[in-house]
Amino acid sequence: MDEISLKALAKINLGLDVLGKREDGYHEVRMVMQTIHLYDRVEIKKTRSPHIHVETNLYYLPVNEDNLVYRAAKLMKDEFQIKEGVRIVLQKFIPVAAGMAGGSSDAAAAFVGVNRIFGLGLSEEDLMKRAVKVGADVPYCVMRGTALAEGIGEKLTRLPRVPQCYVLVGKPGVNVSTKTAYENLKLDDPAVVHPDIDGMVTAIREGDLDGMISRMGNVFEPGIIGKYPVIQEIKDLMENHGARKAMMSGSGPTVFGIFDSREKMEQAAAVLRESKLAKTVFATEVF
Ligand code: ATP
């Protein structure tokens, strides 16, 4: 096999809590991660020249070692002393810097792809151990599905699939870096509401969609919505048009709404597109 084409799937956070800052500067988190059917396309081809060559449809993304796919490929090439090179063509659809782990998922696809085309025979667990060196969310993106993520996001417990539901994604035209999200999070403020992650995990284990939805929460929301009220407007629009619940994903600004029927979701998607509150809108479902 000389080339492979993979889907790098996006994630949403059904629940996101931050417990505190560790001595090494990283934050201790507890998150319920869910893969959705929105993806970038990652094509990887063996080349005779020894270089890693990255191409993408988004002119503003780096194509050198600052691109996470480059880092993943380099790590594998160095460890396994691979003489040949790779040409990676990255077609981005997942909004960038949006709280949907786009870059991390691309990197996960690079690990999986390099393993396959060079016949390295690494297991999923082997890949996940290496993936954390590229980013805290990359091991989860290798694993996919529904999971509880703890530590800095790398300690994963697989959960059963959530009951079938539909996910409307809307990204407003603002950008929020993870750094900004942490700067606006005041963990010592007693008013901070920590979502009930344990309750959500139990609900998912019991296949209880209502229980899961009632526990959705993101500790970053108040700080970011304070700065960007459009996030609240998108949430309200989704909830006024049939979403069982709408919430910001990760460090934002992307909002997703959970629907129990595709039809209701499509109707809400049409209203959201018309409203122009969101720059990009995707109507999709859980993986
Ligand atoms: P997360 O949900 O993990 O916080 P995110 O959605 O906030 O991720 P990404 O889209 O993964 O953020 O990427 C954010 C930054 O990483 C961008 O500013 C970009 O320059 C850099 N980057 C590196 N590699 C990639 C890639 N393959 N795709 C997108 N961004 C990348």
Number of residues in the chain: 287
Q: Whose CA is nearest to atom 18 of ligand 1?
A: 97
- Alpha-carbon distance of 92 to 248, in angstroms, equals 21
Q: Rounded to an integer, what distance in angstroms lies between the CA atom of residue 200 and that of residue 118?
A: 40
CA distances from 235 to 105, 168, 246, 256 (A): 25, 11, 5, 8
CA of 96 to the centre of ligand 1 (A): 5
Cα(198) to centroid(ligand 1), Å: 29
For residue 103, how far is its CA from the centre of ligand 1 (angstroms)?
Answer: 4
**CA 133 to chain CA centroid, nearest Å:** 17
Separation in Å, CA 248 to CA 12, 66, 130: 9, 26, 29
Question: Which residue has a Cα nearest atom 23 of ligand 1?
Answer: 67
Under the banding of pLDDT at 50, 70 and 90, the label for residue 198 is very high
How many angstroms separate the CA atoms of 193 and 222, rounded? 9
Residues labelled as active-site residues? 11, 137
- Model confidence over 123-181: pLDDT tens digits? 999 999 999 999 999 999 999 999 999 999 989 999 999 999 999 999 999 999 889 99
Nearest 5°: the CA angle 77, 79, 81 is 60
Question: pTM for this structure?
Answer: 0.95
Please tell me the residue having the least CA distance from ligand 1 atom 31: 103
What secondary structure does DSSP assign to 183-195, as a single string?
HT--TT-TTPPPP
Best residue among 96, 100, 176, 254 to mutate for probing ligand 1, ranked by most atoms within 8 Å of CB: 96
Strands, E assignment, 107-244: 146-150, 155-158, 166-171, 217-218
Residue nearest to atom 27 of ligand 1 (CA): 103
- Which atom of ligand 1 is closest in space to residue 68's alpha carbon? 24
Cα 199 to middle of ligand 1, angstroms: 30
- Ligand 1 within 6 A of 131 CB? no
Site to substitute for ligand 1 among 18, 68, 220, 256, most atoms within 8 A of C-beta: 68
Cα–Cα distance for residue pair 132/153, rounded to 1 Å: 9
Which residues, in sequence order, are bridge partners of residue 29? 18
CB of residue 249 inside a 6 A radius of ligand 1: no
Q: What would the pLDDT profile of 222-254 be if each residue is shown by its tens digit?
A: 999 999 999 999 999 999 999 999 999 999 999
pLDDT tens per residue, range 32-74: 999 999 999 999 999 999 999 999 999 999 999 999 999 999 9
DSSP string across 60-105: TS--STTSHHHHHHHHHHHHTT--SEEEEEEE--SPTTSSS-HHHH
Q: Reduce the DSSP state of residue 38 to 3 states and report it.
A: strand
Task: Measure the CA–CA gap between 193 and 189, rounded to whole angstroms.
Answer: 9
CA of 160 to the centre of ligand 1 (A): 27
